[in-house]
Amino acid sequence: MIKSIKTWILVGFASLLLVACGQGGGGAGSKKSKTLDNTKKAGFVKCGVSQGLPGFSNADESGNWSGIDVDVCRAVAAAVLGDADKVKYTPLSAKERFTALTSGEIDVLARNTTWTLSRDADIGLTFVGVNFYDGQGFMVRKNSGINSVNDFKNGISACTNTGTTTELNMRDFFNSKNISYEPIAFEKADEVVAAYDAGRCDTYTTDKSGLAAQRTKMSNPDEHKVLPETISKEPLGPVVRQGDAVWEDIVRWSLNTMIEAEEYGVNSSNASSLKDSENPAIKRLVGSEGELGAAFGLDNDWSLRIIEQVGNYGESYKKHIADTGILPNRGPNQLWTKGGILYVPPAR
C-alpha cells in the first residue's frame, strides 16, 4: 500500500520531470513515429497494466502476465518487434495510469480502462478501440434478500474504487433512483474486497467482469451474488498518447487484426497454412496479399505474427475469460456475425 501511494506521488513528480525532459511525439500526419523508433531501439513495448485483475491482466507466481489486456500489448510487440514476449509490463493503479502514459513511462495502456469523452478529448489521450464491452453492476450478500437494484433503500453503504468511472456512475444511479447512500472509495481493489467482505458496506460496485473476478477472492465466494442490472456502459479499451498518429494506428490495427482474424476463422494454429487461401481478406490478414504493413512502416507479416503468437480474439477470450470461469458467456463480446457487437473496420 505504502508503495502504491509513493508510486503515484512519484508519478506526479515524474510527470513534472518527464514531461519536462521527454521529447514530443511525432507531429500528427507525419509518417515518422517517435514512439515506434524508440520502441524498436529499446527492444520492448512499454505496456501499462492493472495491479492484478484476473482475466484482464494478472501476473502468476513467477511474474508472467496474462489476460486479454495483456494480449493487446503482446500483439503490438509481435507486430513491431516480431516477438510477443518482448513486453515490459508496468502495473499501475487507477490513479497512476494516465499520468504514466502522458509522461512517457509507458507507450500503451491496456488496463481495463473505460473510454469516455472527457478522457479521450481532455487529457492528452487517444482511445484506439474496445477490447471488452462491460457494464457496471452491484454485488451483494446472497442472504441479504436484495434481488434487484430496486430493493436498495436509503442509507445503503456502497464500496468501490477511487478514481474510476464507477464512482461517478454510482452517484448518477443513486441520484436517479433518489436513494441516499454512503460511498466508501478505496484506492486498491484488494482493500475494497476486504472491507466489503468484513461487512463495512452492504454492496460492492464496479464493472461486472471485475465483480466476477473479485468474487473469487472473497473468503466465501458462494455467499455473494451479482445483481442482474447493468447501470452503465463501460467500453474498455487500450489507450495511447495523443500526438503520435502512426503509433496510434499500429495499436488500433493490432487489436482489430485479432478480431478480424476470428471473423475469418484464422487462428494461431491454421494461420500459416492459409497463405494460399482463396479469400483475399484472409490472404491480406496473413500477409500474402497487399502491402498493408508498409502504411505503418512495418513489414508485411506483422498481422500473421500477431495471429500466430497471440491468437485471434476468440482464442484470447476463451483462454483468459471463459475458461477461467469469470464470464463463460461472451454476451456483447461476441462477433457481430454471431449476435454480439464486435465489429471492426476491414483491413484493406
Partner 1 sequence: MILKKFSIENKKARDLIPQVITVLALLSVIIYFATNAQINMGNRGISFGFGFLNQEASFDITFSMIEYDGSHSYGRAFLVGLLNTILVSVIGIFFATILGVIVGISRLSDNYLIAKVAEWYVEIFRNIPLILQIFFWYFAALRALPLPENGISFYDISFLTIKGWYVPKFIWTNLNIFLLSLIAAFIAIYFIKSYATKQREEFGKQIPTTFISLSTLILIPLITFLFLGVSLTFEYPVLKQLSPTVFTYAGGVSIIPELIALALALSMYTATFIAENVRAGILGVGKGQKEAAASIGLNKNQILKLVVMPQALRIIIPPTTNQYLNLTKNSSLAAAIAYPDIVLVFAGTALMQTGRAIEIISITMLTYLTLSISISIFMNWYNKKMAIKEK
Summarize as ranges the residues that interact with partner 1 (CB under 8 A): 1-2, 5, 9, 11-13, 15-17, 19-25, 94-95, 98-99, 102, 118-119, 122-125, 141, 143-146, 151-157, 162-164, 167-168, 170-171, 175, 181-187, 191, 194-195, 198-202, 241-243
Taking the complex as a whole, the smallest distance from the CB of residue 329 to partner 1 amounts, in Å, to 28
Q: Name residue 64's amino acid.
A: N
- What is the Cα–Cα distance from 127 to 256, expressed in whole angstroms? 13
- What is the Cα–Cα distance from 236 to 39, expressed in whole angstroms? 24
What are the DSSP E strand ranges found in 108-267?
A: 108-109, 125-127, 132-134, 136-141, 156-161, 181-186, 203-207, 224-226, 234-236, 239-241
**Which of 229, 238, 53 has the alpha carbon at shortest distance from 135?**
229
Taking the complex as a whole, the smallest distance from the CB of residue 195 to partner 1 amounts, in Å, to 7
Taking the complex as a whole, the smallest distance from the CB of residue 140 to partner 1 amounts, in Å, to 8
The smaller minimum CB distance to partner 1, of residues 12 and 265, is found at 12
Taking the complex as a whole, the smallest distance from the CB of residue 1 to partner 1 amounts, in Å, to 5
Considering Cα of 291, then 238, then 71, then 322, what sign does the dihedral take? negative
Residue carrying the nine cell digits 460511498: 183
The smaller minimum CB distance to partner 1, of residues 65 and 247, is found at 247
CA separation, residue 337 to residues 36, 219, 258, 327 (Å): 34, 40, 15, 20
How would you class 173 by CB atoms within 10 Å of its CB: exposed for 0-12, middle for 13-18, buried for 19 or more? buried
The smaller minimum CB distance to partner 1, of residues 28 and 341, is found at 28
- What is the Cα–Cα distance from 210 to 52, expressed in whole angstroms? 11
CB 80 within 8 A of CB 36: yes
The smaller minimum CB distance to partner 1, of residues 59 and 185, is found at 185
The smaller minimum CB distance to partner 1, of residues 249 and 299, is found at 249
Taking the complex as a whole, the smallest distance from the CB of residue 58 to partner 1 amounts, in Å, to 22
CB 141 within 8 A of CB 221: no
The smaller minimum CB distance to partner 1, of residues 82 and 163, is found at 163
Number of neighbouring beta carbons within 10 Å of residue 343? 10
Taking the complex as a whole, the smallest distance from the CB of residue 185 to partner 1 amounts, in Å, to 6
Taking the complex as a whole, the smallest distance from the CB of residue 295 to partner 1 amounts, in Å, to 23
The smaller minimum CB distance to partner 1, of residues 142 and 338, is found at 142
